[in-house]
Amino acid sequence: MSSLNTVMDNSLSAMFMAQAGMSTTSHNIANADTPGYTRQMNMLAARRPLSFPFGAIGQGVDVVTIRRSQDDFLLSTLRAQKAKQSSYGAIDSALYEIEQILGSIDNDHLGNALNDFFGAWSDLATAPTDPSLKMQVVTKAISMVTDFHSMNASLEDLEQNIEAQVQDEINSLNSLLQQIGDLNSQIMSAEIGGQTANDLRDQRDYLVNELSAIAAVTVDERDDGSLDIILAGRTMVARDSVQQFTTAYRETSDGYQMEVVTEGYYNDVELPQGRLRGLLESRDTYVKDFRGDMDRVANLLIGAVNDLHVQGQTGSSAGLLFFTGDSMHTIDVNSMLQEHPEMVATSRSGEAGDTDIAREIAALHDRAAAGEELTVGDQYRSTIIDIASKRSSFEFLVDNQTMAVAAVEQKMASITGVSLDEEAANMIRYQNTYAAAARVISTIQEMFDTLVHMI
């Protein structure tokens, strides 16, 4: 009787194992397309055998635990690679917007306006007594100033758009941190009995991956199953305690600027790689540098033209400052010249037919002003080339990083992903195991019946 009971228990354990395996398999199939889901496996172990003088007789199988197919090293690598990809992508997007503001080679608004302005001076030099050509110089100058102002306004819009994106990312980051803290609490409660809360851990890992795209984080798992999330050197999540990020405007030499800060801290946050850092770097480095370059173009133009024009004379007045301001935001045509184009000076002598000032200003298109190394056109073209070069570099970085992320994701999928073909094969295997165990139990029952009838 003891031996038959042992065989019965073995078969029952096999049936339970097959049932558990079928449940896990069906769970895998149901979540094959669930974002962040990790394939689960039943971990089996033979029960402790019964010892007899003639040897040990096994007592069946136990389902020890249900384990996730996870590779922590690959997961950490994926997060780091995604953080870089997001950072490079944000900068590449900003550089693309700057290129759109500049215009294309075939539609170079400001470059064409500069050419038209100096061309108008060249035309004036050929017929200095024609009042319509003086009007043309002023008109072309106003058109060029409008392009400078339009470019400045577009840059301001870009900066505001970046700051709006920064705020959106901060809100998303805070939401993710809070959700991770909540999941920490749920996981700690679920794992008190010693079993692993696989689905909750999948959800938490998925959120940490999303978080890493915004800002790379360091993850430290405690013995109770909770994760500490460390960002920018500060522990933002500890068990279910969560710190939040916010933004503040601080006064700088350039005016008020949005900065990212944490609650309880009043110093700047040195953000790691991620979309948030890419956005701030776009604003503080690339947009700011481009604005500075364009201000230099405007300032060089203002200084070069004014230095020559104030040396001129007209029949009624001495030469005036042609431009006012000192940047692309403040540049403007002298209001007196706008109202009285006849006050545009063409010569130092003021005599009709003398065009030395007009010719020298027209020559600024191809010749640097006194004390300068670059012409206005060269300074502008240098800016265009610099932006194009940086955009090309970040396009290359984004492409490479996209391939790097794809390679890690492919490796991850081979480990964590659900293969429907494999799960279908598992179903057949568990079905056969269950049927075989049931067949053994049926046989044992027949043996019991035979034994009872013998008695």
pLDDT in tens, 319-371: 899 999 999 999 999 999 999 999 998 888 877 778 899 999 999 888 877 66
At 54 the pLDDT is: 81
Domain match, 225 and 370 both: yes
Three-class secondary structure of residue 129 per DSSP? coil
Task: Evaluate if residue 213 carries a pLDDT over 80.
Answer: yes
Q: Which of 325, 409, 365 is nearest to 120 (CA)?
A: 365
In a domain, 414, yes or no: no
In a domain, 415, yes or no: no
Domain match, 370 and 425 both: no
Task: Evaluate if residue 425 carries a pLDDT over 80.
Answer: yes
> How many other C-beta atoms are found inside a 10 Å radius of the C-beta of residue 360?
22
Domain match, 321 and 445 both: no
At 266 the pLDDT is: 44
For residues 174 and 412, give the distance between their C-alpha atoms in angstroms, rounded to a whole number: 27
Task: Evaluate if residue 419 carries a pLDDT over 70.
Answer: yes
409 burial level (CB within 10 Å; 0-12, 13-18, 19+): middle
In a domain, 277, yes or no: yes
Contact 441, 12 (CB under 8 A): yes
Residue numbers of the domain that contains 223: 76-406
pLDDT band at 145 (very low <50, low <70, confident <90, very high): very high
Task: Evaluate if residue 249 carries a pLDDT over 80.
Answer: no
Domain match, 445 and 300 both: no
User: Measured between alpha carbons, how far is residue 244 from residues 24, 55, 270 in Å?
Assistant: 38, 64, 15
* Better pLDDT: 285 or 454: 285
Contact 344, 265 (CB under 8 A): no
In a domain, 380, yes or no: yes
Domain match, 206 and 258 both: yes
Domain match, 133 and 260 both: yes
Contact 316, 293 (CB under 8 A): no
pLDDT band at 1 (very low <50, low <70, confident <90, very high): very low
**Rounded average pLDDT over 70-93:** 96
For residues 174 and 242, give the distance between their C-alpha atoms in angstroms, rounded to a whole number: 9
Q: Could you please report the per-residue DSSP string of 225-269?
A: S-EEEEETTEEEEETTEE--EEEEEEEETTEEEEEEEETT--S--
At 117 the pLDDT is: 95
pLDDT in tens, 5-27: 888 889 999 999 999 999 999 99
In a domain, 40, yes or no: yes
Domain match, 13 and 116 both: no
**Rounded average pLDDT over 199-217:** 96
The one-character DSSP state at 44 is E
List phi, psi (to 5°) of 11.
-70, -40
Question: Which of 28-37, 90-99, 105-114, 320-329 bottoms out in mean pLDDT, i.e. has the lowest?
Answer: 105-114
In a domain, 276, yes or no: yes
Domain match, 64 and 93 both: no
Three-class secondary structure of residue 369 per DSSP? coil
At 377 the pLDDT is: 86
**Rounded average pLDDT over 90-108:** 83
* Better pLDDT: 255 or 189: 189
Find all residues with CB under 8 Å of 171, minimum gap 6, and list them.
none
In a domain, 301, yes or no: yes
List phi, psi (to 5°) of 247.
-120, 155
Domain match, 59 and 139 both: no
At 104 the pLDDT is: 57
Domain match, 82 and 62 both: no
Task: Evaluate if residue 226 carries a pLDDT over 90.
Answer: yes
- At 56, list the tokens: 């040990």
For residues 319 and 435, give the distance between their C-alpha atoms in angstroms, rounded to a whole number: 105
Q: Give just the sign of the alpha carbon dihedral 287, 290, 292, 297.
A: negative
Domain match, 54 and 131 both: no
At 107 the pLDDT is: 58
CA angle 277–281–107, rounded 5-degree value: 130
Domain match, 36 and 88 both: no
Whole-number CA gyration radius for the chain: 38
At 264 the pLDDT is: 53
**Rounded average pLDDT over 65-93:** 95
At 448 the pLDDT is: 83
For residues 290 and 380, give the distance between their C-alpha atoms in angstroms, rounded to a whole number: 11
pLDDT band at 268 (very low <50, low <70, confident <90, very high): low
- The number of domains in the chain is 2
**Rounded average pLDDT over 34-43:** 96
At 2 the pLDDT is: 52
In a domain, 296, yes or no: yes
